[in-house]
Structure 1
Amino acid sequence: MLIVPERQIPDLLTRSASFTAVEKVFAAMAAGQAYNFPVIREAIGHEDALYGFKGGFDRDGHTLGLKAGGYWPHNLEKRGLINHQSTVFLFDPDSGMISAMVGGNYMTALRTAAASAVSIQHLARPDAKVIGMIGAGHQATFQLRAALEQRPFEKVIGWNLHPEMLPNLAAVAEEAGLPFEAVELDGMTEADVIITITSSFAPSLLAQHVSPGTHIACMGTDTKGKQELEAALLGSATVFADEIDQSITLGEAQHAIATGLISRDDITEIGAVINGTHPGRSSAEEITLFDGTGVGLQDLAVAAAVVDLAVEQGVAIEVDF
């Protein structure tokens, strides 16, 4: 068995490698060559933590495994650790033997950002110039860095419920040599691409905040009850998802489905656009929307890439098991 500790992953995994791995596995999912297992997610009754498992099998990528982990909301204040903690386990699909254990924290941040970046690459207008960010936490900085590589953006605008966190976004914009402007939500009409990355249970982005032709990547809603967007937005947009089943049960689409604004048949897997079996954006005025709930196969694909890189660079730890 190979082990790639958390501490090694920032030196191994790039945004480019994450993008490629996620794009490939989305394509495999849409082609019926990869599937996710049912998600287990539980409140464990200790430290207010949520713990669960995501897994799947990618026949094309010859990848089988699971991610175990969750959210410990008091970690930062009590232990100086990040609140999200996870580990990925890979198994040999031929024998069932465990093949690798990979730290999942930094990797999760990059794979989540890669998913929205894939959606921007395949669905945003080619002439998109202004990117809007709703949310300014730790994950938002990963999202923004990955997104800025997909189009020749000229400006970053941002809104956060707690404005004191907006300098996180301003710093990333400065790294890229772009101006940053803090706006109210109605200022999001200037954006050609909007990424939402919050933990909200009430909508922030409303239909009146979005201009025709915008691409929206909804990345924060991954649990029943969470909501970042007004449901009417999904009713007026062309909706894509990483996985339809997860989108309608615990993603942003859960609310539009519940109110009858859209049906399951109104949602397309983004892998179909990657594969060329769906045309994607059909006009410059169309609002496209990606419901990125986060699927286990993303974690497995990126973890497999990490293992390959670790082996290539001679830093993977091999143990008998």
Structure 2
Amino acid sequence: MWIVPEREIAGLMTREAAFGAVEKVFSSMASGDAHNFPVIREAIGHEEALYGFKGGFDRAGAALGLKAGGYWPHNLEKRGLINHQSTVFLFDPDTGKASAMVGGNLLTALRTAAASSVSIKHLARSDAKVIGMVGAGHQATFQLRAALEQRNFDKVIGWNLHPEMLPNLEKVATQAGLPFEAVELDGLHEADVIITITSSFEASLMSHHVSDGTHIACMGTDTVGKQEVEPALIERASVFTDEVAQAISLGESQHAVCAGTKAESDINEIGAVINGTHRGRKSDDEVTLFDGTGVGLQDLAVAASVVDLAIAKGVAIEVDF
């Protein structure tokens, strides 16, 4: 069995590689060559943590396994650790034998950013110029860096419940040579693309904050009860997702589906747009929304590619297991 420690991931996985792996696995899901297993996600009653498992099997990519981990909200303040902690385990699909254990913290941030970036590539207007961010935490910086590579943006605007964190976004914008403006939620009306990346259980982005023609990537809702946008925005938008079953049960779409304002049949897989079996955006006035729930197959795809790179570069650790 191979072990790839967290400390090695930054030297192995690029945004470009993560984007390619995630786009490919979304395509495989839509064509029926890959499927996710049911998600387990629970409050453990300790440290206010959420912990769970996401897994699946990608026949095309020969990837079988799971990611174990979750969200520890007090890690940063108490221990100087990031709040999201995870590890990916891979198994040989032919024998079931454990084949690799891979640090999943940076991979989670990269694959989550890649997913929203894939949605921008396939759903946002080609002339999008202003990108808006809702959320300014650790993962928001990864989201913004990846998104800026998908369109010729000329401005970044952002809102966060705790505005003292907005310099995180400003730093990324400045590095990209773009101006940054902190705005109130009403100011997001200027945005052509909006990414929400929070751990909220109460909607902050409302339909009236969003202009016609905007593409929204909702990336923070991955648990029953979490919510970043109001159901009226889901109802108004053409909704796409990584996996429909997850979107309606623990994704952003759960609230509109529960309220009966959005039908499961109205939600489409982003992979169908990638494969060309769904046209995606139909007009420049259409509001499109990507409900990024985060599927286990994303983690397996990026982890499998990291293992191959780590072995080739001699930084993977082989153990008898």
Q: Note whether the superposition's TM-score is higher than 0.5.
A: yes
The residue that corresponds to 2:24 in the other structure is 24
Q: Deviations over 1:6-56 (max 9, x none)?
A: 000011110001000100111111111111111112222222222211100
Q: Does 1:142 align with 2:142?
A: yes
The percentage of aligned residue pairs carrying the same residue is: 78
1:293-304 correspondence to structure 2 within 5 Å: 293-304=293-304
1:233-312 correspondence to structure 2 within 5 Å: 233-312=233-312
How many Å apart are 1:79 and its aligned residue? 2.3
How many Å apart are 1:107 and its aligned residue? 0.6
Which secondary structure state, in structure 1, belongs to the residue aligned with residue 216 of structure 2?
A: strand
Distance 1:213 1:59 in 2: 37
Distance 2:76 2:92 in 1: 35
Q: Does 1:54 align with 2:54?
A: yes
**RMSD, aligned α-carbons:** 0.9
Distance 1:274 1:205 in 2: 27
Distance 1:77 1:229 in 2: 27
1:71-86 correspondence to structure 2 within 5 Å: 71-86=71-86
Which secondary structure state, in structure 1, belongs to the residue aligned with residue 10 of structure 2?
A: helix
The residue that corresponds to 2:196 in the other structure is 196
Q: Does 1:42 align with 2:39?
A: no
Q: Deviations over 1:71-90 (max 9, x none)?
A: 22222233222221111000
Which letter does structure 2 place at the counterpart of 1:237? Answer: A
Q: Deviations over 1:250-299 (max 9, x none)?
A: 11101111111110000000000011110111111111100001111110
How many Å apart are 1:91 and its aligned residue? 0.5
Which secondary structure state, in structure 1, belongs to the residue aligned with residue 153 of structure 2?
A: coil
TM-score normalised by length of structure 1: 0.98
The residue that corresponds to 1:316 in the other structure is 316
Distance 1:203 1:79 in 2: 29
How many Å apart are 1:122 and its aligned residue? 0.5
The residue that corresponds to 1:216 in the other structure is 216
Structure 2 runs not aligned, ≥5 long: none
Which letter does structure 2 place at the counterpart of 1:103? Answer: G
Q: Deviations over 1:76-122 (max 9, x none)?
A: 23322222111100001011111111000011010100000000000
User: Runs ≥4 in structure 1, deviation > 4 angstroms?
Assistant: none
Which letter does structure 1 place at the counterpart of 2:179? Answer: P
Structure 1 runs not aligned, ≥5 long: none
Distance 2:36 2:211 in 1: 34
The residue that corresponds to 2:182 in the other structure is 182
Distance 1:77 1:168 in 2: 17
Distance 1:125 1:37 in 2: 33
Distance 2:182 2:76 in 1: 27
Distance 1:69 1:76 in 2: 16
Aligned residues between the structures: 321
Q: Deviations over 1:145-201 (max 9, x none)?
A: 000000010000001111111110000000000000111111111111000011111
Distance 1:131 1:111 in 2: 20
Distance 1:161 1:79 in 2: 23
How many Å apart are 1:58 and its aligned residue? 0.3
1:142-181 correspondence to structure 2 within 5 Å: 142-181=142-181
Distance 2:193 2:45 in 1: 39
Which letter does structure 2 place at the counterpart of 1:90? Answer: L
Distance 1:318 1:152 in 2: 43
How many Å apart are 1:225 and its aligned residue? 1.1
Distance 2:53 2:188 in 1: 35
1:59-70 correspondence to structure 2 within 5 Å: 59-70=59-70
TM-score normalised by length of structure 2: 0.98
- Residues 64-73 or 136-145, more deviating: 64-73
Which secondary structure state, in structure 2, belongs to the residue aligned with residue 309 of structure 1?
A: helix
Distance 1:75 1:178 in 2: 32
Distance 1:260 1:50 in 2: 28
The residue that corresponds to 2:126 in the other structure is 126
